[in-house]
Amino acid sequence: MYDPEAVIPSLSNHRVLIVGDLVLDEYLIGQVSRLSREAPVPVLEQTRAQYVPGGAANPAANVQSLGSQALLAGVIGDDEAGRRLYDLLDERGIDLTGVITVPNRPTTQKTRIVAEGAYVFAHHLARVDRLTRDPISGDHERLLCTRIELMTPNVQAILVSDYRLGVVTPLIVETIRHMAAANKALTTVDTQGNLAAFRGFDLLRCNASEAMGYLGAPLKNNRDFEIALMELVASLDARAAIITRGSEGLSCISPAGETLHLPASNRTQVFDVTGAGDVLIAVVTLALAAGYDVLTAAELGNRAAGIAVTRLGNVAVRPEELL
């Protein structure tokens, strides 16, 4: 068992490059007192709006919050959402050298309409996404590769956050793979199902349904997850893997082939599961960069995710909370 008093401070003072799809999360929050006369839908009387970094920007915010330096690489549009997201990240001290603006491409924005007041917890009424899934290409793809090449020699780890919104192209992945090998940087990835693209990464993170989709086999019990983890690392030439299991916690495998099943660290105070996986991969990456083994890193990430789900929206976990 690790000593929290020693482990938590060791997550600071690292440099991590996060590459992926940048998202602005918008929350329109208010109270519902009636149904519309025009249609059977609730009418929200908005009281406030809240904006937080989402997508790949969320693990970057967590790396920064835990005392390390996050360097971010991705794209935003030349629009109000992009400028707002850039400012939010800049205020946190995140290095935005790798963030490029692509004209005529919208900044991905997820708008959640949330009612509070009449409920114990805030209640999500609807979500509206503004996005494109078109892959970046041409000069913008080459420019992003160049920025990644310039930033990699100064980092200990590269974390890829792939929401499959067009930023993590095959050329971007190949650039990361090449630069990580040249600079002996750790590589971790959190992908929404595109596992085959990340062959040779040090650690893969996916959820149970994504693992089932890749392997083509049901996952019903711990033994199923153990077999799945062994097949994942073997077929993708990975050193380690984590499969998150929602309310059932997670399962992971180490480079030595050890498997571990962890129950969810918080099942009674779940407020909002948005971004829990982002928090987990950020903490796991920092723990591995600090020299801890995969099983310890998974335990820390699991506990951090348990903190994140207690609050509305994406959460940047602080060291004192994790301690």
| Start-end of H helices in the chain | 4-10, 57-65, 80-91, 138-151, 170-183, 208-215, 222-235, 276-289, 294-308, 319-322
The tokens describing 247, both together, are: 């309310």
Across 98-109, average pLDDT? 97
What is each CA distance from 134 to 157, 168, 194, in whole angstroms?
A: 27, 11, 15
Report, as residue numbers or ranges, the catalytic residues. 278
3: confidence class by pLDDT, cuts 50, 70, 90: confident
Closest CA to 285 of 55, 2, 62: 62
Residues 242, 248, 249, 251: is their CA dihedral positive or negative?
Answer: negative
Residue 238, pLDDT above cutoff 60: yes
pLDDT at 196: 95
- Cβ-based burial of 149 (10 A; exposed 0-12, middle 13-18, buried ≥19): middle
192 vs 16, higher pLDDT: 16
Mean pLDDT of 130-138: 96
Q: Is 211 helix (H, G, I), strand (E, B) or coil?
A: helix
For 22-64, how does the pLDDT look when each residue is reduced to its tens digit (9 = 90+)?
999 999 999 998 999 999 999 999 999 999 999 999 999 999 9
The CATH number of domain 4-24+54-108+132-313, selected from 1.25.40.10, 3.30.470.20, 3.40.50.720, 3.40.1190.20: 3.40.1190.20
Per-residue pLDDT at 317 exceeds 70: yes
User: 271 by DSSP, 3-state: which?
Assistant: coil
Strand order across the 108-115 sheet: 42-55, 22-35, 108-115, 123-130
Could you report the per-residue pLDDT of 265-312, keeping only the tens digit for each?
765 565 566 778 999 999 999 999 999 999 999 999 999 998 888 777
Band the pLDDT of 2: cuts 50, 70, 90.
confident
Helices 57-65, 276-289: crossing angle, 10 deg rounding: 50
What is the value of pTM for the model shown?
A: 0.94
| Model pLDDT, residue 116 | 85
pLDDT of 117 > 90? The answer is no
Residue with more model confidence, 138 or 274: 138
Residue bearing tokens 């890193």? 297
Note the pLDDT of residue 266: 66
Q: Could you read off the pLDDT of 71-92 as tens digits, one per residue?
A: 999 999 999 999 999 999 999 9
Whole-number Å distance between alpha carbons of 164 and 169: 9
Q: What percent of the chain clears pLDDT 70, i.e. is strictly above it? A: 96
CB atoms within 10 A of CB 236: 18
Reported as a single tens digit per residue, the pLDDT across 164-210 is: 999 999 999 999 999 999 999 999 999 998 999 999 999 999 999 99
